[in-house]
Amino acid sequence: MKAKSWSIVVFIILSLASCRKQSILDENEAIHGRRWFREQEPAFNVKIDSPTTAYDLFLNIRNSVNFQFSDLFLEIEQLNPDNSKVNYVVKIKMTNGEGLWIGKGSGNIYSQQVRFLSDYHFPDSGMYTFKVKQNMRANPVEGIHDVGIRIAASDF
């Protein structure tokens, strides 16, 4: 009887864990030569069917130890279906207070996913485009391998 009870508990936990909402967009673009020039603006398209759904929006960043700064400043441009634009300025901490890289590391490459909007409702249904621009003093920025966007329905 106890083994059966544990099986039910494990099944319920696994079922709840699998309820995490699927992302409607999760794309990355490689930065050519790992040198990100201001002119290079990776763009990501997503079709929104239900503006009543709340979404979380994340930035995906993959960098090497060649990145020279403790922070990465970005500007995200959201082009709406009606051709209006919304801009977001995002600061991503790349190192902690002790100078150690933030994110998951493998060798000298680190990746992190940073939420920049929570429970966001798109103003209308239709096609949206997000452009990610580096907004640093240095041009180019060395050591950024990939940048991307992930959009998923908000967890409740």
Copy the structure tokens of residue 149. Answer: 């966007």
pLDDT of residue 23: 78
Copy the structure tokens of residue 32. Answer: 């050519």
Q: Classify residue 46: in a domain, yes or no.
A: yes
Q: Classify residue 67: in a domain, yes or no.
A: yes
**3-class DSSP state of 80:** coil
Q: Classify residue 13: in a domain, yes or no.
A: no
pLDDT of residue 28: 94
Q: Classify residue 1: in a domain, yes or no.
A: no
Number of domains in the chain: 1
List, for residues 91-105, the tens digit of each pLDDT value: 999 999 888 899 898
Q: What is the CATH number of the domain that holds 88?
A: 2.60.120
> Tokens 């030569």 map to which residue?
33
Q: Classify residue 11: in a domain, yes or no.
A: no
The one-character DSSP state at 40 is -
**3-class DSSP state of 12:** helix
Q: Classify residue 3: in a domain, yes or no.
A: no
Query: How far apart are alpha carbons 141 and 66 in whole angstroms?
Result: 10
pLDDT of residue 3: 56
List, for residues 105-138, the tens digit of each pLDDT value: 888 999 999 999 999 999 999 999 999 999 999 9
82, burial (CB in 10 Å: exposed 0-12, middle 13-18, buried 19+): exposed
Does 53 have pLDDT greater than 60?
A: yes
**What is the H or E stretch that residue 77 is in?**
strand 71-79
pTM for the structure as a whole: 0.81
Q: Classify residue 4: in a domain, yes or no.
A: no
* Alpha carbon distances (Å) from 13 to 8, 23, 134: 9, 21, 41
Contact between 85 and 79 under an 8 Å Cβ cutoff? The reply is yes
Range of the domain at 142: 23-153
Q: Classify residue 81: in a domain, yes or no.
A: yes
